[in-house]
Chains A and B, each alone.
Chain A
């Protein structure tokens, strides 16, 4: 069954699902309803026209070739068509990467002002531990003079493409709720992730791949990645992110069992079609047509996905630029895969790289001095290569790249530091991210106080980031709504402002 089964009776502007069964009396009602919601004038004529143009007569005819998530017209002309989100799971330290704080360095080893942290809650810190300056040096780069840490030498080579936002803030200080907040604008489970909202609003340009793909890399340490991070929530399940795995089948159960040839599978799909069509003639259930189409798409994916994930098709130069090695499930490989995915029209690609949660519990993998440089070695080169590669292929203008984590770290140490160890606690009050491409204005936005503890200029809440992102994709965040249990939900809930200064 699909969204017209009454579960999604008042679907927003662009409901879609793998079912091609289309028009029922519910659909005009949904459109009518949509109009009634938007008479406030949120939408331009273009957006309305696109909605009204969803021709019920045309929809009644199953398309020749199955379109999983048909492309929808945005509310207004978009600047970006695709998003690649590089998500550093665990909360990377802004002090060692993007937010240069000379004053903090000067106060290194002195206690944090009690007034500053009074009443604030931390995951681990109690009392007023000492401040810790950055363990690494910053330098200015490019024409823009963007300040970047020495841990990011490759990124420095694309400094003029970056919009560094030093004034991010969020609401959650534990990993899981904070990751959910970054992804879905809410710490409550059950809300759709950003990628699901995007395919809901815009559909997917790829007929052979899901519109929302998730990749993950890094050691299985620190906060985990889970289904709930790419859930479609209350949106139709077809909008759910599909995780491509680093080992085995990139998509679960993609390969035929041993001893089953492609020809055998083709014959199976053909026989299924014939038999299902007999049933469809007898019963007249349009859902059967959708089933036939889904099986045929599955068959095509058996070719298109291995072709996609075969990095052997890339030149040695490209592989070297990314630092990718065939057969590895590394962040570098995933960055290259991300480019291949957006090339094929996938709307939203999210890369998780794990193990950025450096509290300082030990000298190794918990240590800002030890683990953070390691993480940077893993991501710096591929992320920079991705930007260059997209640019060289003319894709950067339409592809928005975001790099960040669920929150930042505290300017004060968590454990008493030693010469060989530094650890920082979770900090949602101020953190840094960078963006590139897709209609973004390069430069540095926002400012934190001299200790990097609070945002003092051009604060960007997660809701603002989401509003901006949707805006760049041609969607009005206040008009992209879905009714669930009687309430109209938005990615930005009841908040969010488009950050004008970020728009190119």
Chain B
């Protein structure tokens, strides 16, 4: 139409149009960015910088480089006057600092408590009573080590530690955003579980996930592993610009990689040079260039946006496939009907084979440019793949014959001179066991992060981890066998400053916990559920497979979602699948399984390094009233009623131990007995209430059992499942 219509408007209007920059849709972004530059002046920043005493890191007198970017050298083990009181080098470092603060270890936690702690930490389930009894009766000096070896060999280990990894990998079963429909990627979740169980070294674990597809003769497993970076969200809303959405996914891959392996907030350098850490915007996009070469197209193109996919036939399906292909190949000409039949069988088979989303490199390379101010519509200079200059050398890992690619990046991430990957990874392990990392800001090792409570211990662990071949289970064993870990608990570890009066140190006081008592903190959402299922005997230990749908409140999806995308109704699974471990629960990003969301599970829209641990009345309502927990209580009640014990008190001890491993103290037992008698009396006087309760728990009716007794026991079991100690690792 050209400019003609403008003429129809009055002069005033023309003037308005020329002045309308401020209000224009696309230009508002520009105005914002102009403000941004104006407001922030020379230091184009996200926010007001602040002096941060904590940022002052322990640095060598001659080095000006931030501690985390300095090479990791193996520190000498500190001299300890009481070597007898240490179990391994971890304790030596911890005790050395305790001595300087005129403190000492807390004595070890009681055996049953310790066993519960380590079992929850290594496999995410409580120990069975048999396991408790055996450990209590084991006089061998290496009994503790044997327990740890047994747990590390359990297939439940990979499930539990896999769950942690899935938070980092932002693994979910849906695309996210508005439409948030299902995607096929659970085989990646199973790969994580199996790989952790097989104790694949962390460097190979890394390379497979970042660049498994680029490995020479990549195996299906290595290609499945690249699902790590297919866990980015996809916006299928109408009108989404596919390229803009693809850029978002690449930016997320950069940020996630930097967070998980480098403990670095590289995301801050997306729009401008990093405000606090030595990363330029150009370096952000050089890093981006590694990831900018894959085929996946992200959003705006419904139905085609999940490609590339990898088919994963089971061995049986593979055999059947081979058989059909061979039959087709050997079929004589003219047998049209037979051919058609085989083709149909082939199609049916193909449809039954699961797919998983994978990364695949494009044949034609994209040119990567800096997006000025983070705006894809504002291209700057061309950049080639590269890594931040402040970090270790990239040259050592690059193949000379071709441009650097993701495989080079992956190898660089796990190069033995990488100052960050080792530190960041062992710190996260520490955080899993102790609730808090040696560096409490486990997602930020930059200048704005906190300095380590025990720098030498962190470096020693990192060096040990890398030099002994990135063996994950060995690191977990090392931490779990330490005396530090076995101490009795007091409460959560908190950051403290060294009190000057007690410090013999000069210079800046160190921040961070002392680790002078054992860890104690609330369990994660999935673990609370798994524990209830295990204690009640309902737990289905089947590993892997498509995600499952244990019951959730009726109509919950439609309350949040939209009709017309096939996601109206939560398809509740068959009974057996309702008692699977929490990590198999279908994860929909916009409507996370409600009890999990209430217990601080993340949406998995982005990488989560530290889940918050809140303490709210909504959680109390969930664990008291969620039908899933009620069913566990009723099943635990049945177990107790049927247990071969002469009297009620012994049955209560039995149920108590199923939840807490230890025996109740006399005062505790007395309170529980009183409570039970109170409930029994109530249901004896109100037997129709007992009937109502037992009908509601959703277990098959057991005629031999007095419903009033079962109901009273169910209330008692629910109490046990709701004890602070039950939902806490202590």
Q: Which A residues have a C-beta under 8 Å from some C-beta of B?
A: 1-2, 4-7, 9-10, 17-19, 21, 24-26, 29, 32-33, 36-37, 40, 68, 103, 107, 110-116, 119-124, 128, 167, 169-171, 173-176, 189-190, 210, 216, 220-228, 231, 236-238, 242, 245-249, 251-261, 263-265, 267-268, 271-272, 274-276, 278-279, 283-288, 290-292, 294-295, 297-298, 301-302, 426-430, 448-450, 454-456, 459, 461, 463, 478, 481, 483, 485-490, 493-495
Is there contact, CB below 8 Å, between A174 and B435? Answer: no
Q: How far apart are B339's CB and chain A's nearest CB, in angstroms?
A: 44
B136 beta carbon closer than 8 Å to chain A: no
- Chain B residue with Cβ nearest A246: B559
Q: Which residue of A has the minimal Cβ distance to B712?
A: A264
Told that A171-B32, A298-B618 touch, could you supply 20 new A-B pairs with CB distance under 8 A?
A: A5-B521, A18-B614, A19-B614, A36-B52, A103-B13, A116-B17, A124-B239, A224-B178, A226-B591, A259-B694, A260-B715, A261-B682, A278-B665, A285-B490, A294-B619, A297-B617, A449-B20, A454-B20, A455-B23, A456-B23
CA distance A149 to B668 in the complex (A): 68
Chain B: CB-nearest residue to A282: B665
Which residues of A lie under 8 Å from residue B591 when comparing CB positions?
A: 226-227
Q: Tell me which residues across on chain B come within 8 A of A25, comparing CB atoms.
A: 494-497
Please state if B624 and A298 are interface contacts (CB–CB under 8 Å).
yes
Does any Cβ of A come within 8 Å of B547's Cβ? no
Is the beta-carbon distance between B239 and A267 smaller than 8 angstroms?
A: no
B308 vs chain A, min Cβ distance (A):
25
Select which of A6, A220, A301 is within 8 A of B440 by beta carbon: A6
CB distance from A170 to the nearest CB of B (A): 8
The stretch that binds A, out of B119-127, B354-362, B442-450, B468-476, is B442-450
Q: Which of B555, B560, B725 contacts A225 (CB 8 A)?
A: B560
- Residues on A with C-beta less than 8 A from B16 are 449-450, 454, 456
With an 8 A cutoff between CB atoms, is B218 at the interface?
no
In whole Å, how far is B647's beta carbon from the nearest beta carbon of chain A? 20
Choose among B29, B52, B617 the residue that contacts A171 (Cβ–Cβ < 8 A). Answer: B29
Interface 9-mer from B94-102, B281-289, B605-613: B605-613
List 25 A-B pairs, Cβ < 8 Å.
A5-B492, A6-B495, A9-B54, A17-B614, A24-B494, A24-B495, A26-B494, A33-B52, A115-B2, A116-B5, A176-B178, A210-B618, A227-B560, A251-B618, A257-B693, A259-B695, A261-B689, A284-B490, A295-B624, A301-B621, A450-B10, A486-B276, A486-B448, A488-B50, A493-B46
Alpha-carbon distance between A21 and B520 when the two chains are bound, in angstroms: 14
Asked if residues B35 and A450 are in contact (CB atoms below 8 Å), the reply is: no
Q: How far is the CA of A283 from the CA of B662 in the complex (A)?
A: 15
Out of B3, B28, B39, B50, name the residue touching A33 (CB < 8 Å): B50
Within 8 A of A (CB), among B210-249: 235, 237-241
Q: Measured between alpha carbons, how far is A253 from B275 in the docked complex, in Å?
A: 45
Residue of B nearest to A4 (CB): B494
> Is B562 within 8 A of A223, CB to CB?
yes
Asked whether A486 lies within 8 Å of B590 as measured between CB atoms, the reply is no
Q: Is the CB of A37 within 8 A of B562?
A: no
Q: Which of B1-50 contact A (CB under 8 A)?
A: 1-6, 8-10, 13, 16-17, 19-20, 22-26, 28-29, 32, 35-36, 39-40, 45-48, 50
Tell me whether B561 is interfacial, beta carbon within 8 Å: yes
Q: Specify which of A26, A253, A276, A456 is in contact with B624 (CB 8 Å cutoff).
A: A253
Q: Which of B443, B494, B626 meets A253, CB within 8 Å?
A: B626
Residue of B440, B615, B625, B667 ringed by the most chain A CB atoms within 10 A = B615
- The yes or no answer to B730 lying at the interface (CB within 8 A) is yes
B46 touches A252 (CB 8 A): no
**Interface: B436 (CB within 8 A):** yes
B715 (CB) vs chain A CBs: closest residue: A264
Tell whether, in the assembled complex, residue A220 and residue B3 are in contact, meaning their CB atoms are under 8 Å apart. Answer: no
Instruction: Give Cα A226–Cα B28 distance, bound, in whole angstroms.
Output: 27
Residue of B nearest to A247 (CB): B555
Q: Is the CB of A286 within 8 A of B491?
A: yes
Number of A-B contacts (CB under 8 A): 401
Contact A450 B13 (CB under 8 A): yes
Interface string of B411-455 (1 = CB under 8 A from A): 000000000000000000000000110001101101111100000
Q: Which residues of B contact A (CB under 8 A)?
A: 1-6, 8-10, 13, 16-17, 19-20, 22-26, 28-29, 32, 35-36, 39-40, 45-48, 50-54, 177-178, 180, 235, 237-241, 265, 268, 275-277, 435-436, 440-441, 443-444, 446-450, 489-497, 511, 520-522, 553-555, 558-564, 568, 590-592, 594-595, 597-598, 600, 603, 605-606, 610, 612-622, 624-627, 630, 665, 667-668, 671-672, 675, 678-679, 682, 686, 689-697, 711, 715, 718-719, 722-725, 728, 730
- Complex CA distance for A486 and B592, rounded to whole angstroms: 28
CB closest chain-A residue, reference B499: A25
CB distance from A125 to the nearest CB of B (A): 9
- Are A190's CB and B605's CB within 8 A? yes
Whether A254 contacts B620 in the complex (CB less than 8 A), given A107-B8, A112-B5, comes out as no
Whether the Cβ atoms of B492 and A228 lie closer than 8 Å is no
Q: How far is the CA of A254 from the CA of B594 in the complex (A)?
A: 13
CB-CB under 8 A for A238 and B718, given A224-B561, A429-B24: no
B462 to chain A, nearest CB (A): 20
B275, B436, B490: the one contacting A6 at CB < 8 Å is B436
For residue B626, give the distance in angstroms from its CB to the closest CB of chain A: 5
Task: Determine how close the nearest CB of chain A comes to the CB of B103; give it in whole angstroms.
Answer: 15
CB-defined contacts of B28 to chain A, threshold 8 Å: 169-171, 428-429, 461
Residues of chain A within 8 A of B690, CB atoms compared: 259
The CB with the most chain B CB atoms within 10 A, among A121, A268, A301, A459, is that of A268
Which 9 pairs from chain A and chain B are nearest by CB? A486-B448, A455-B23, A123-B239, A259-B693, A429-B25, A6-B440, A113-B5, A285-B491, A259-B692
- Interface of A, helix, strand, loop or mixed by DSSP: loop
Q: Are B23 and A454 in contact (CB under 8 A)?
A: yes
Q: Are A298 and B559 in contact (CB under 8 A)?
A: no
Residues in B with CB closer than 8 Å to A21 are 491
Q: Find chain B residues with CB under 8 A from A222 CB.
A: 562
> Could you tell me if A450 and B9 are in contact, using CB atoms closer than 8 angstroms?
yes
- Please determine whether A29 and B24 come into contact, CB atoms closer than 8 angstroms: no
Contact A18–B615 (Cβ < 8 Å): yes
Chain A nearest CB, measured from B706 CB (Å): 15
Scoring B40, B594, B625, B675 by chain A CB atoms within 10 A of each residue's CB, the highest score goes to B625
A173 touches B239 (CB 8 A): yes
How far apart are the CA atoms of A486 and B715 in the complex, in Å? 46
Can you name the residue of chain A whose Cβ is closest to the Cβ of B605?
Answer: A189
Interface centre among A2, A68, A237, A238 (most CB of B within 10 A): A237
Q: CB-nearest residue of chain B relative to A110?
A: B5
Q: Which residues of the partner chain B approach A171 to less than 8 Å between Cβ atoms?
A: 28-29, 32
Residue of B at shortest CB range from A295?
A: B620
Collect the chain B residues with CB atoms within 8 Å of residue A298's CB: 617-618, 620-621, 624
Known: A17-B615, A114-B1, A226-B560. A252 touches B594 (CB 8 A): yes
Quick one: which of A36, A169, A485 contacts B50, CB cutoff 8 A? A36
Contacts of B50 in A (CB 8 A): 33, 36-37, 483, 488
Q: Which residues of A contact B447 (CB under 8 A)?
A: 486
Point out the residues of chain A lying under 8 angstroms from B10, CB to CB.
450
User: Do the beta carbons of A495 and B620 come within 8 Å of each other?
Assistant: no
Q: Is the CB of B559 within 8 A of A220?
A: yes
Flag if B444 contacts A291 (CB, 8 Å): no
- CB-defined contacts of B630 to chain A, threshold 8 Å: 257
User: Counting chain A CB atoms within 10 Å of each CB, which of B51, B275, B494, B730 scores highest?
Assistant: B494
| A175 touching B23, Cβ below 8 Å | no
**Would you call B36 and A486 a contact (CB within 8 A)?**
no
Residues of chain A lying within 8 A (CB to CB) of residue B180: 224, 226
* CA A257 to CA B633, docked complex, whole Å: 12
Residue of A nearest to B40 (CB): A494
Which residue of chain B has its CB nearest to the CB of A208?
B617
Which residue on chain B has the smallest CB distance to residue A234? Answer: B612
Indicate if the CB atoms of A190 and B668 lie closer than 8 Å: no
CB distance from B715 to the nearest CB of A (A): 6
Chain A residues near B13 (CB-CB < 8 A): 103, 449-450
CB-based contact B440/A228 at 8 Å: no
